């Protein structure tokens, strides 16, 4: 399996690793800072610096079929490293930070709109969530005001782990019905935005809501009778 370094520290921009496997689906490293596509967040891009000084572009990062191995995807025809080679991985940090800010803003959006979440996606400085909001009227201006008020609380974001049993005893923690938190490994990662939100999540987040910057609500669309899709965009760079 690949040690997911981004899980304990989402701010790592580069890290050394050893090549453990190479095939046409991608390169497997013993550890990585590249976030694999999942939970509505896209896979990281970046590059691997090889010992001979050459650079190998990583176009996407995905999980292997076992969900424990992480595959670093390269362009067809790339010169691939040898097994056992030492590489320096470097993510596209500008892109990742935009996604971390958007992802954290979407957690806050679930606090503004406390309805079951049926889908969502994290983009590059923007994102969306689908809510099973019933007949409730959702007002763009009001949502934006409340979202920015939460961002302005400068709340600390932290992670901790609980057991599968603790999660089973607290089903209210799961807001996202379409993406069940991964259980079966015995523990689940919780992301807490102090005083605002607590939910299981495996994604990457900023450490304080002040890093999100200002958010705009760019759309509220009907997606079926009781579903509403709310889109947000971050309108200035992080603090
Ligand atoms: Zn998250």
The whole-number pLDDT of residue 153 equals: 98
Whole-angstrom distance between the N-terminal and C-terminal Cα of the chain? 36
Alpha carbon of 104 to ligand 1 centroid (Å):
6
Alpha carbon of 52 to ligand 1 centroid (Å):
37
Alpha carbon of 180 to ligand 1 centroid (Å):
13
Alpha carbon of 54 to ligand 1 centroid (Å):
34
Q: Is 77 exposed, middle or buried (0-12, 13-18, 19+ CB in 10 A)?
A: exposed
Alpha carbon of 200 to ligand 1 centroid (Å):
7
The whole-number pLDDT of residue 225 equals: 82
Please give the C-alpha separations between residue 168 and each of 31, 186, 188, 226, in angstroms, as whole numbers: 30, 11, 10, 27
Percent of the chain with pLDDT over 70: 94
The whole-number pLDDT of residue 17 equals: 98
The whole-number pLDDT of residue 137 equals: 85
Residue ranges of the chain with pLDDT lower than 70?
A: 175-184, 236-239
> SS3 for the chain, per residue?
CCEEHHHHCCCCCEEEEEEEEEECCEEEECEECCCCCECCECCCCEEEECCCCCEEEECEEEECCCCCCEEEECCCCCCCCCCCCEEEEEECHHHHHHHHHHHHHHHHHHHHCCCCEEEEEECCCEEEEEEECCCCCCCHHHHHHHHHHHHCCCCEEEEEEEEHHHHHHCHHHCCECCCCCCCCCCEEEEEEECCCEEEECCCCCCCEHHHHCCEEEEEEEECCCCEEEEEEEECCCCC
Measure the CA–CA gap between 10 and 96, rounded to whole angstroms: 9
The whole-number pLDDT of residue 181 equals: 62
Alpha carbon of 107 to ligand 1 centroid (Å):
6
Taking only Cα atoms into account, the Rg of the chain, rounded to an integer number of angstroms, comes to 19
Alpha carbon of 204 to ligand 1 centroid (Å):
6
pLDDT tens column, 45-59: 999 999 999 999 999
Alpha carbon of 89 to ligand 1 centroid (Å):
23
């Amino acid at each position: 399996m690949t040690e997911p370094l981004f899980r304990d520290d989402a701010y790592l921009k580069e890290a050394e690793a050893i090549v453990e496997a190479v095939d046409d689906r991608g390169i497997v490293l013993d550890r990585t800072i590249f976030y694999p596509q999942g939970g509505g967040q896209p896979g990281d891009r970046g590059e691997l610096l090889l010992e001979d000084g050459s650079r190998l572009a990583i176009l996407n990062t995905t999980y292997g079929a076992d969900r424990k191995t992480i595959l670093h995807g390269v362009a067809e025809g790339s010169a691939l490293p040898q097994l056992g080679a030492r590489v320096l991985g470097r993510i596209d940090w500008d892109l990742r930070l935009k996604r971390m800010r958007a992802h954290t803003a979407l957690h806050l959006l679930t606090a503004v709109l406390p309805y079951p979440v049926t889908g969502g996606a994290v983009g590059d400085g923007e994102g969306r969530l689908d809510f099973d909001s019933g007949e409730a009227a959702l007002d763009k201006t009001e949502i934006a005001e409340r979202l920015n008020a939460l961002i302005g609380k400068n709340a600390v974001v932290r992670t901790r782990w609980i057991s599968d049993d603790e999660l089973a005893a607290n089903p209210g923690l799961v807001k996202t019905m379409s993406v069940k938190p991964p259980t079966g490994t015995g523990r689940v990662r919780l992301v807490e935005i102090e005083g605002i939100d607590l939910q299981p999540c495996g994604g990457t987040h900023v450490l304080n809501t002040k890093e999100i910057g200002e958010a705009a609500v760019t759309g509220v669309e009907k997606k079926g009778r009781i579903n509403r899709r709310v889109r947000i965009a971050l309108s200035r760079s992080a603090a």
